[in-house]
Amino acid sequence: MDQPGREPAAHRLVERRVARPGWNSHACHRLGIDITARRLAETQLSEARERFQQAFDNATIGMCLTGVDKRFMQVNPALCKMLGYTESELLGMSAVEVTHPDDRAETLGAFRSMLAGEISIFHGEKRYLRANGQAVRVLVSSSAVRGRDGAPLYFVTQIEDVTARRAAEEKLVHQALHDSLTALPNRVLLMQQLREALTVDHQTAGRSALLFVDLDGFKLINDSLGHDVGDQVLRVTGRRLERGVHPDDTVARVGGDEFVILCRNLPSAQHAVDIAERLLPILGAPVEVAGAEAVVTASVGIAIAAGSPTDPEELIRDADAAMYYAKSRGRTATRSSTTRCELGRSNGSPSRRGYVAPYAKADSDWTTSPSSIWAPVAWSVWNRCCAWRIRIAVCFHQRCSWRWRRRPV
């Protein structure tokens, strides 16, 4: 009969044991031990293991258990599919073997840190190698499972394939920093690289140059042959410019038919002029597009930055101004702008309308003393804080003999 306050006998498990007092004794005692709680715990543990196994096997991301020797103890189908190996193949390998060679040092460092207890969880991005040798970008989260004594028993790792996501992100970044027509860097990327180059020049007393290239008569090509032909001419021009400069230099498209070349680590200013003169005949070669032949020429303006702190925008404006001066003096020409200065307002200041200052005769090579050559001075004036500020761009041409003259603007 069931006792009050206790479970019905039908719902309780009892383990019966027989105890004999002596070997030859016929007497025995039957003992009943309640094992309901133990069987319930075993059932719950079995169900938990089954749930974990189902989640492990059906997970949409890769999962694995890795021993302290870095070898795979258990892998799920998603990881096998991701890496292109069978389960038996992966169980015979280690996590280091499937890691990209360039990322193995980081993987070994993470294992050592978790073994030593320095970190409890490793979370980072790395590359795995598929069975066919193709690299796959993965996001890895790994943690150590420890025993009661605190020693690590194995590692539980989740592995998510982020290859497509990273490719999409890189594509968006590329589109934001490159011209869609020519795939050349755009103005944003050019400014980033120009700032970096000027910083390096200031620290190392180096020399960089900007070549501002503008195609002559490009509008005529668009109007006569069509915009499709014009687009192809721009693509060909971009490729020609890239082939004509050093691999470390940057060729960017900043406008419709305007390109800018950033030349780094120049031995002298003359090298910038040599580069520009080498590019002009390359650009002047005919371009055959859809049965038509287009011939373009270009004008080039050069701005030199030689060690002193220089504003990138100012440098681009100077190269632009030198290019327009070259175009005004005759197309297929090169001019350079190397100095700027500021003048305070005085009675002798030029009028708001302005003029071009007289040329100064050179007594030495302009590559070593750029301010002392025969040079036309182009300038612009604007008002800031009640003071006249004059920007002077000194333009040079290598094979030009200039004369003394004064000309109103």
> Nearest to residue 212, comparing CAs of 367, 316, 329, 333?
316
- Return the pLDDT at 13: 54
Mean pLDDT of 361-374: 34
- Return the pLDDT at 311: 84
For 60-81, how does the pLDDT look when each residue is reduced to its tens digit (9 = 90+)? Answer: 899 999 999 999 999 999 999 9
Q: Which residues of 249-273 are buried (b: 16+ CB within 10 A; e: fewer)?
A: bbbbbbeebbbbbbbbebeebebbb
Q: For residues 68 and 264, what is the distance between their CA atoms, to the nearest angstrom? A: 50
Q: Which of 19-33, 67-81, 294-308, 387-401 has the lowest mean pLDDT?
A: 387-401
- Return the pLDDT at 260: 96
- Return the pLDDT at 355: 26
Query: Where does residue 21 fall: left (phi above 0), alpha (psi -120 to 50 degrees), or beta otherwise?
Result: alpha
Identify the residue whose tokens are 């400014």: 191
For 77-124, how does the pLDDT look when each residue is reduced to its tens digit (9 = 90+)? Answer: 999 999 999 999 999 999 999 999 999 999 999 999 998 889 889 999
Q: Are 144 and 114 in contact (CB under 8 A)?
A: yes
Residues 6+ apart with CB under 8 A from 149: none
For 167-216, how does the pLDDT look when each residue is reduced to its tens digit (9 = 90+)? Answer: 999 999 999 999 999 999 999 999 999 999 999 888 888 889 999 999 98
- Return the pLDDT at 193: 95
- Return the pLDDT at 224: 83
Residues 6+ apart with CB under 8 A from 334: 273, 276, 277, 280, 299, 300, 301, 302, 326, 397, 398
pTM of structure = 0.62
- pLDDT above 80: residue 393: no
Stated as kind and residue range, the H or E segment containing 276 is: helix 269-283
- pLDDT above 50: residue 10: no
Which amino acid appears at position 309 of this protein?
P
For 212-228, how does the pLDDT look when each residue is reduced to its tens digit (9 = 90+)? Answer: 999 988 888 888 888 88
Q: For residues 127 and 101, what is the distance between their CA atoms, to the nearest angstrom? A: 9
- Return the pLDDT at 330: 61
In angstroms, how far is the first alpha carbon of the chain from the final one?
Answer: 121
User: How is residue 182 written in tokens?
Assistant: 């020519």
**Per-domain boundaries in the chain:** 40-166, 178-408
- pLDDT above 90: residue 405: no
20/54: higher pLDDT: 54
User: How is residue 352 written in tokens?
Assistant: 């708001």
- pLDDT above 60: residue 131: yes
69/389: higher pLDDT: 69
290/211: higher pLDDT: 211
Domain covering 178-408 in this structure, CATH number: 3.30.70.270
Q: Which of 137-151, 194-208, 303-317 has the lowest mean pLDDT?
A: 303-317
Burial class (CB in 10 A: 0-12, 13-18, 19+), 35: middle
- Which class would CATH give 40-166? alpha beta
- Return the pLDDT at 281: 86
